[in-house]
Chains A and B, each alone.
Chain A
């Protein structure tokens, strides 16, 4: 199992320093909650770990793999900046991701786990509520059964049942030796998830 290393990560946006010299190590079974108010760089931090944004300085790597950045197959990213294809059904969205990764998938079972009904699964995503779209986003991040979950505001727009599902999936993931970086600005969630915390403050 891999270990995530984040070393001396720095990032600024339009002359404003979001974070600098940020270092973090995540071992199997661990989670870190990234907290802070809007615009403090939580999402940017997760995007950098996902390889979607280049940092100004620093390095993200998996120890056992020895790669300069985490290989894509180790990551499961879900954030408000990644939407499912509206014209495709939830099943088609997950199958698309699985085929791109060259993996087999039981999309119906995964969506069932996320609490999407059989009828909804066969309807194009454009007819979904925002909560249902969020469930598809989260399901998409689980397609490759990744070692590292990067969830940006995972419970946003979810009802109580959806929040419970997120908690169950996260617990199962960590018990299986997975790792998670979760960004939120919801104080209830920060308290509920516990564990280590990195706080991004206003500068």
Chain B
């Protein structure tokens, strides 16, 4: 009996280890391909940087309220995400490489590898565009710690939702670029509204807003957890033809 339990434990451990290995291999491949082509990074980062510069140039000298600035930050991040995060799955289908993954890797580990890559991509975009935004459109009473937590939780939810939506539309015979924002819109709308509300607290530093922002961080975290869990549960149905 004891040896049966031991064997089952070893088998589970081997399965988990293999799953983690596969996710890491998919992530490393994504990173290697991206470093050689810079397709997604160019699309996402250039969109974010250009938009930040254009917005700040248009609003130069104007007194912009904290809530408007918060909305601008998330509009830029959302549209930057929509411009590039779908590539992880769309590129596989268009290039005819998706079957390699279907034949060799557990579906959930493929999703995990792709999600990790999109998380890294969103992280880089936030690291570049948000400091640039704050440089060009300064926020006097910035709550930096709170903002970083909001960006982390919001970025995780954004990456998770965008990755799953990308998997959904990748099979479409045509019109992927139109389908992606249409399907993403209702999924990302609640995240955007909460993220903007939370960021207002980080920008205006009004105590009641800060308190509300910390509550919103919890909601953003819950959104990311629910979205990631649902994505892992549903991905296998989306992935196989």
Contacts and interface: CB of A to CB of B under 8 A. Distances in A.
B22 A100 contact: yes
B96 A100 contact: no
A151 to B, nearest CB: 14
Contacts of B99: 52, 77, 79, 81-82
Nearest to B92: A85
Contact of A85 (B21, B22, B95, B105): B95
A96 B33 contact: no
A180 to B, nearest CB: 17
B102 interface: yes
Contact of B96 (A51, A83, A99): A83
B213 to A, nearest CB: 41
Contacts of A83: 95-97
A53 interface: yes
A72 interface: yes
Given A87-B33, A124-B36, A99 B25 contact: yes
Interface string B83-110: 0000000000001110111111100000
The size class of the interface chain B forms with chain A is 20 to 34
Contacts of A97: 100, 104
Give the size category of A's interface with B: 20 to 34
Nearest to B36: A87
A75 B103 CA distance: 8
B113 to A, nearest CB: 10
Contacts of A81: 96, 99
Interface string A82-120: 111111100010001101111000000000000000000
A52 B240 CA distance: 7
B103 A77 contact: yes
Contacts of B18: 102
A122 to B, nearest CB: 14
Given A54-B241, A83-B96, A87-B32, 4 more contacts: A75-B103, A81-B99, A97-B104, A140-B100
Interface of B: 18, 21-22, 25-26, 29, 32-33, 36-37, 95-97, 99-105, 240-241
16 contacts: A51-B102, A52-B99, A53-B241, A54-B241, A82-B96, A82-B99, A82-B100, A85-B29, A85-B33, A85-B97, A87-B32, A88-B32, A96-B25, A96-B29, A102-B18, A140-B100
